[in-house]
Structure 1
Amino acid sequence: AEHCPDAGAAKKMRNDRGALDKWLGNRNGLDLVGEFPVRAEPELWQEVLVRLTPRQYSISSSPLVSPREVQLTVSVVRYRGADGS
């Protein structure tokens, strides 16, 4: 809320957590930043953004099509980070 340029929205976010939770509903971080542009240093973004946990597999079947069967999709992914590791 401290970095939101809309003072009214920032006040509402601070004072009414229930209304904020209801408003957030199915919105994600990109939706929120799109509606309320935030200017913050990269270090602050690192503090508030959640690191994604890698998935080792993906369930690719549908219980509507195969109610007694689970199909998995697995793939080997190799990449290097910016530091070469």
Structure 2
Amino acid sequence: MRKALLLGMAAATLAVAPLAHAAGGCGPYGHRGWGGVCRPNGPYGPRPLYGPVYGPGPAIGVFYPGRGYWYGGRYYWHRGWGGRGWRYY
């Protein structure tokens, strides 16, 4: 009786084990992060691409039509010389 109980528990554990590795559809080495995005669990394996790579961002102090001058992480419509350098407002 004891042997049958142990075999039954082992079979149940093995039947559930593959479900635990699915991790919400992210594979054996991933988990769901913020917003439901798959994230790697550790430093091993290939890393997913987090969006397209466009190259360097806009250049500081350049006027972009329809947006303005790029400076400090945002666009400004006007700029003027402030004695020590350009002021954006």
TM-score by length of 1: 0.25
Task: Give the greater-gyration-radius structure (CA).
Answer: 2
TM-score by length of 2: 0.24
User: Which structure's residues are more often strand, by fraction?
Assistant: 2
User: Which structure's residues are more often helix, by fraction?
Assistant: 1
Instruction: For CA contacts below 8 A with separation 6 or more, give which structure has more relative contact order.
Output: 1
